[in-house]
Structure 1
């Protein structure tokens, strides 16, 4: 069930990647052969099971209800986002997260509605992989895991910490196990439905969907770690992302090209001044 729940991350990568950063980490993919095999397995499962279920969910569920479900599930992540805000030293953002969680959990009926946004408290997301990246931990090799989707060694390890930070995973209440299973399944279906059109476009328009998704994931994670700071601008649309890995090479310090199969230069840990001066920004 954890793999289904992790589809949230895949959905976020597919949806937000076209609006992240122009500067990026090169994606280090030394296991490309293995990853492509896993991508093929994922595609087979998706076409046979996940996509048909997601299309059925879209067909029988009105748009306002689907939006409410996504908002409810996002609200449940409030404690995890808050913890990672604090771990990053982003205390202003942590305050926003806490206020959003309190307002939406009460006035917003458990997060089904988002009155906090109308009050100027915009939603942002954080995970422990981003926290590690903010403090300079290298991403490590890129991995594609069936059902989980695109990730890296750093981000994959961060998932385990986020599980521990989520109080729902160990809270005891009546029907707790059933609630956790329902959240995982509904989260996976909702996430897949939300990217039906995006994934269809990638399959139809991309010469190499594997490269498109890998590049998009790297762009999105760079922007997520930067929290919208520095030289973060609009990303290219999916059709503008280079399909040929050779086109993704960038000049090295001495004019030599750097390949996606070489370890990237990671974003340095933020200075205290940078953290303090930007702590009030949201993505």
Structure 2
């Protein structure tokens, strides 16, 4: 509730910002007049003074094996969510893999610290409720830039609420849910540090982030095999997978 109140307050404050020229209006981004100032706030304030310094410090003091264990642990916590969404999407194979990964890594892998399942050929399959809604035919909705949260769409924001707060609450307490969310956020930001040059070299960083975000959604929705378009050459696969 607090997050959405903060978002609403930002929208009110920024509603009077300069208008975007009509020839630059993107149908996917009807709120661009609001999203651009929010992007600047995220990058120039939150990322510059909080997120990036935390991520850089995290990388410097955390050995790679420990970082891998943290990723393994958070992925394992999310495995039941992956399983449920795979089932809702009509992917029994992916649902079975997620269930098997959870059972193997929670036991042999010591609560998911070690990814034993991947060595057995049970590779992680990321499924979320935003993808589930997409499979069900729900459109993206408006593109949104949220304070601290970054890019999303109306559909994926709904999916994130279900994935990050509704489903985990079945098994985790609120503090545990928040801890897992923070660990994922810090690791996600840290994983983007090697790719910052792509963003800095782009002519319009806002458009770059938006375009690559939509590319990522197509990549995920079709499990890495989009039926029509391939990722633009400027967007390497490592960067897409790290978002």
Q: Which residue of 2 aligns with 1:257?
A: none
Residues 201 and 103 (structure 1 numbering): CA distance in 2 closer, same or farther, change over 3 Å?
Answer: same
Residues of 1 paired with 2:228 and 2:78: CA distance?
25
Q: Which residue of 1 aligns with 2:222?
A: 226
1:56, distance to aligned residue in structure 2 (A)? 0.6
Gaps of 5+ in 2: 4-25, 237-243
Pairs within 5 Å for 1:80-159: 80-159=81-160
Is 2:164–2:177's contact at 8 Å kept on the other side of the alignment?
no
Residues of 1 paired with 2:106 and 2:136: CA distance?
31
Residues of 1 paired with 2:32 and 2:63: CA distance?
40
Gaps of 5+ in 1: 4-25, 241-283
1:235, distance to aligned residue in structure 2 (A)? 1.8
User: Aligned pair 1:207/2:208, yes or no?
Assistant: no
Q: Deviation per CA, 1:189-246: give whole Å up to 9, x if none.
A: 2221111122x21342111111111001111101211123453675234469xxxxxx
Is 2:73–2:112's contact at 8 Å kept on the other side of the alignment?
yes
Residues of 1 paired with 2:230 and 2:115: CA distance?
26
1:181, distance to aligned residue in structure 2 (A)? 3.4
Residues of 2 paired with 1:178 and 1:135: CA distance?
32
Q: Which residue of 2 aligns with 1:30?
A: 30
Q: 1:113 aligns to what SS in structure 2?
A: coil
User: Aligned pair 1:192/2:170, yes or no?
Assistant: no
Pairs within 5 Å for 1:270-281: none
Structure with the bigger percentage of helix: 2
Residues of 1 paired with 2:70 and 2:27: CA distance?
33
Task: Give the TM-score, by structure 2 length.
Answer: 0.80
Structure with the bigger RCO (C-alpha within 8 Å, sep 6+) is 1
How many pairs align? 213
Residues of 2 paired with 1:77 and 1:232: CA distance?
30
Residues of 2 paired with 1:113 and 1:202: CA distance?
32
Q: Which residue of 1 aligns with 2:162?
A: 161
Is 2:219–2:226's contact at 8 Å kept on the other side of the alignment?
no
Q: Which residue of 2 aligns with 1:268?
A: none
Residues 106 and 127 (structure 1 numbering): CA distance in 2 closer, same or farther, change over 3 Å?
Answer: same
Q: 1:42 aligns to what SS in structure 2?
A: helix
Residues of 2 paired with 1:121 and 1:74: CA distance?
13
Q: 1:186 aligns to what SS in structure 2?
A: helix
1:148, distance to aligned residue in structure 2 (A)? 1.1
Q: Deviation per CA, 1:148-191: give whole Å up to 9, x if none.
A: 11111111111222235523x2446xxx4443333232222222
Q: 2:112 aligns to what SS in structure 1?
A: coil
